[in-house]
Amino acid sequence: MKVHEIVIISFESLWSHPFRAILAGLGVVFGVGAVIAMLSISEGAKQASLQQIEVLGVNKILLKSEKPDDISTQAYSSIEFGLTKDDFKHFDTVLENVDGVLPIRNTHLALESKRDKEKIHLFACGVDLMNFTKSNIFQGQGRFFVEMDNRQKSPVCVIGKNAARKLYDFENPLGKKIFLKGNSFEIIGILENPYSYSLSGGYDLNNLIFTTIGTAQAIWRDSIFNGSNFIETDYDFLYIRVENEDNIVNTSNRIRKYLKDTHPDGDVSIEVPFELLKQRQATQKIFSIVMASIASISLLVGGIGIMNIMLANIYERMREIGTRRALGATRSNILIQFLSESVLLTSSGGIIGILLGVALAKLVELYGGMPTVISWMAVLISLFVSVFIGIVFGTFPAWKAAKLHPIEALRHE
Q: What is the mean pLDDT of residues 267-280?
A: 77
Confidence at 65, pLDDT banded by 50, 70, 90: very high
Least confident of 193-197, 268-272, 284-288: 284-288
Least confident of 2-11, 160-169, 304-313, 343-352: 2-11
3-state secondary structure (DSSP) of residue 245: helix
Predicted pLDDT of residue 258: 94
Predicted pLDDT of residue 122: 95
Residue 29 C-alpha from the chain's centroid:
27
Query: For residue 392, what are the contacts with CB-CB under 8 A and spacing of at least 6?
Result: 303
Pairing verdict, β 203-204 and 198-199: antiparallel
Predicted pLDDT of residue 174: 95
Is 90 exceeded by the pLDDT of residue 229?
Answer: no
Is 80 exceeded by the pLDDT of residue 100?
Answer: yes
Q: What is the mean pLDDT of residues 140-152?
A: 95
| CA-based nearest residue to 249, from 239, 257, 238 | 257
Phi, psi of 341 (to 5 degrees): -60, -45
- What separation in angstroms does the CA of 181 have from each of 122, 185, 219, 282, 411? 12, 11, 11, 48, 101
Confidence at 147, pLDDT banded by 50, 70, 90: very high
Predicted pLDDT of residue 156: 96
Q: With b meaning 16 or more CB within 10 Å and e meaning fewer, what string describes 229-268?
A: bebebbbbbbbbbbeeeeebeebbebbeebbeeebeeebb
Predicted pLDDT of residue 63: 94
Q: Which of 136-140, 272-276, 335-339, 346-350 has the highest mean pLDDT?
A: 136-140
Predicted pLDDT of residue 236: 92
Predicted pLDDT of residue 116: 73
CB 111 within 8 Å of CB 119? yes
Is 70 exceeded by the pLDDT of residue 347?
Answer: yes
- What separation in angstroms does the CA of 315 have from each of 122, 303, 310? 79, 19, 9
Question: Which amino acid, one-letter code, is at 268?
Answer: V
Q: What is the mean pLDDT of residues 388-395?
A: 81
Is 70 exceeded by the pLDDT of residue 366?
Answer: yes
Q: Which residue has the higher pLDDT, 370 or 12?
A: 370
Predicted pLDDT of residue 273: 76
pLDDT averaged over every residue in the chain = 82
Confidence at 71, pLDDT banded by 50, 70, 90: low
Predicted pLDDT of residue 248: 84
Predicted pLDDT of residue 269: 92
Predicted pLDDT of residue 15: 66
Is 90 exceeded by the pLDDT of residue 260?
Answer: yes
Phi, psi of 9 (to 5 degrees): -65, -40
Q: Which residue has the higher pLDDT, 207 or 22?
A: 207
Predicted pLDDT of residue 226: 64
Predicted pLDDT of residue 413: 52
| CA-based nearest residue to 61, from 274, 244, 272, 258 | 272
Predicted pLDDT of residue 338: 76
Q: Which of 94-98, 109-113, 172-176 has the highest mean pLDDT?
A: 172-176
Is 60 exceeded by the pLDDT of residue 215?
Answer: yes
Predicted pLDDT of residue 160: 96
H helices present in 114-247, as ranges? 129-133, 147-151, 161-168, 213-220
Phi, psi of 151 (to 5 degrees): -65, -40
Is 80 exceeded by the pLDDT of residue 110?
Answer: yes
CB 24 within 8 Å of CB 345? yes
Q: Which residue has the higher pLDDT, 137 or 413?
A: 137
Is 70 exceeded by the pLDDT of residue 6?
Answer: no
Predicted pLDDT of residue 56: 60
Q: Can you say whether the dihedral through the CA atoms of 360, 363, 369, 374 is positive or negative?
A: positive
Q: For the segment 161-193, what is each residue's pLDDT rounded down to a tens digit? A: 999 999 998 889 999 999 988 899 999 999 999
Q: Which of 97-111, 308-322, 368-382 has the highest mean pLDDT?
A: 97-111
DSSP state letters, 125-161: E-TTHHHHHT-EEEEEEE----HHHHHTT--EEEEEH
Predicted pLDDT of residue 262: 93
